[in-house]
């Protein structure tokens, strides 16, 4: 890479870090606590994740969202006319993909899975939820591990799989008030059934909401514990990929309390300063 290209990459990565600070403050802080040599690549990956996550909030119709997702797919796979040229985030991500040999098919599956977010289809069961989490949250963790450790990232696969489910559950809990208000529900259908309700009843009158929230949180906690156990067996140089997981436990612990309602979920996210302290503690101890 020549000096001019190096300068452009530095500018693009700086752009990603600045944008990430606005769109996903928690992963921005996780980037700052990661090795400086890969900070820009991680920022590009996390910014991509943030951009995809907010697509539904930026469009009025699912088709418009599909077009945005397709643009990213074309850029990453090189299968369309979009090249990402002139888009700092896309250029930085492509550079990270090349430099760290990130599998492009993982991004393709990630985008395909996120199409689910654009519609209001119910989540059939836990198997479907885990498949979704595996292609989305777990994939981002595993790709971050590849950036950090290359081939050593295989040792993080099991931990990333369980961590992705726990992280997806925490996200579902935080977003449940918004989702319920707009008729969207990602709570697995078999969890709803075990609590004596179904998607239609839960969305219309929030039937058994306290039991559903507690069951969903317990499901997430189970995967969090499995992730923690598996993480003890992975290469320690990969831990920075799991830093955002330090913020999952407080959400699950608060949500699992009895009597929690959808309104209560609006207040279970700890304030920013507490989340920052948890990230610092995780980075210092190597535990999430």
d(CA 251, CA 7): 40
Helix %, strand %, coil % for the chain, to 5?
A: 80, 0, 20
Please tell me the number of Cα atoms within 13 Å of 246 on its side-chain side.
Answer: 26
CA trace torsion 180, 182, 188, 190 (10° rounding): 70
Are 152 and 238 within 8 A, CB to CB?
Answer: yes
Contacts of 177 (CB under 8 A, 6+ apart): 262, 263, 265, 266
Q: What is the DSSP string of 225-249?
A: HHHHHHHTTS-GGGGGGGGGGGGHH
Question: Minimal CA–CA distance to 13: which of 35, 50, 38?
Answer: 38
- Express each pLDDT in 104-129 by its tens digit: 999 999 999 999 999 999 999 999 99
Is residue 202 scored above 90 in pLDDT?
yes
> Could you tell me where the DSSP H helices lie in 182-271?
189-194, 199-205, 209-231, 248-255, 262-265
Please state the CATH superfamily assignment of the domain spanning residues 120-288 in this structure.
Farnesyl Diphosphate Synthase (1.10.600.10)
Task: Kindly list the domain boundaries of the chain, sorted by start residue.
Answer: 1-102, 120-288
5 pLDDT band, cuts 50/70/90, is low
Tokens coding 17: 């870090």
- Express each pLDDT in 76-107 by its tens digit: 998 777 777 889 999 999 999 999 999 999 99
Reported pTM: 0.95
Q: In the chain, pLDDT over 90 holds for what percent of residues?
A: 92
- Express each pLDDT in 204-227 by its tens digit: 999 899 999 999 999 999 999 999
């Amino acid at each position: 890479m020549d000096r001019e290209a190096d300068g452009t990459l530095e500018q693009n990565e700086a752009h990603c870090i600045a944008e990430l600070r606005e769109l996903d403050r928690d992963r921005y802080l996780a980037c700052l606590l990661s090795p400086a040599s890969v900070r820009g690549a991680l920022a590009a990956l996390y910014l991509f994740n943030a951009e995809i996550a907010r697509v539904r909030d930026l469009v009025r119709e699912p088709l418009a969202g599909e077009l945005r997702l397709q643009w990213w797919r074309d850029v990453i796979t090189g299968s369309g006319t979009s090249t990402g040229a002139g888009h700092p985030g896309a250029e930085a991500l492509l550079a990270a993909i090349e430099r760290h040999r990130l599998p492009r098919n993982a991004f393709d599956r990630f985008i395909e899975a996120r199409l689910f977010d654009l519609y209001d289809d119910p989540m059939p069961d836990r198997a479907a939820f885990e498949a979704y989490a595996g292609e989305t949250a777990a994939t981002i963790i595993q790709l971050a591990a590849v950036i950090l450790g290359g081939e050593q990232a295989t040792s993080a696969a099991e931990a990333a799989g369980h961590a992705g489910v726990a992280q997806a559950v925490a996200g579902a809990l935080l977003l449940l008030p918004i989702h319920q208000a707009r008729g969207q529900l990602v709570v697995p259908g078999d969890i709803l059934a075990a609590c004596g309700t179904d998607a239609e009843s839960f969305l219309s009158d929030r039937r058994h909401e306290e039991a559903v929230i507690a069951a969903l949180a317990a499901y997430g906690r189970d995967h969090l514990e499995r992730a923690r156990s598996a993480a003890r067996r992975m290469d320690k140089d990969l831990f920075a990929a799991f830093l955002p997981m330090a913020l999952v436990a407080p959400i699950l612990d608060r949500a699992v309390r009895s009597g929690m309602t959808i309104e209560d979920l609006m207040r279970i996210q700890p304030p920013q300063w507490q989340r920052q302290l948890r990230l610092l503690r995780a980075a210092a101890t190597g535990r999430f």
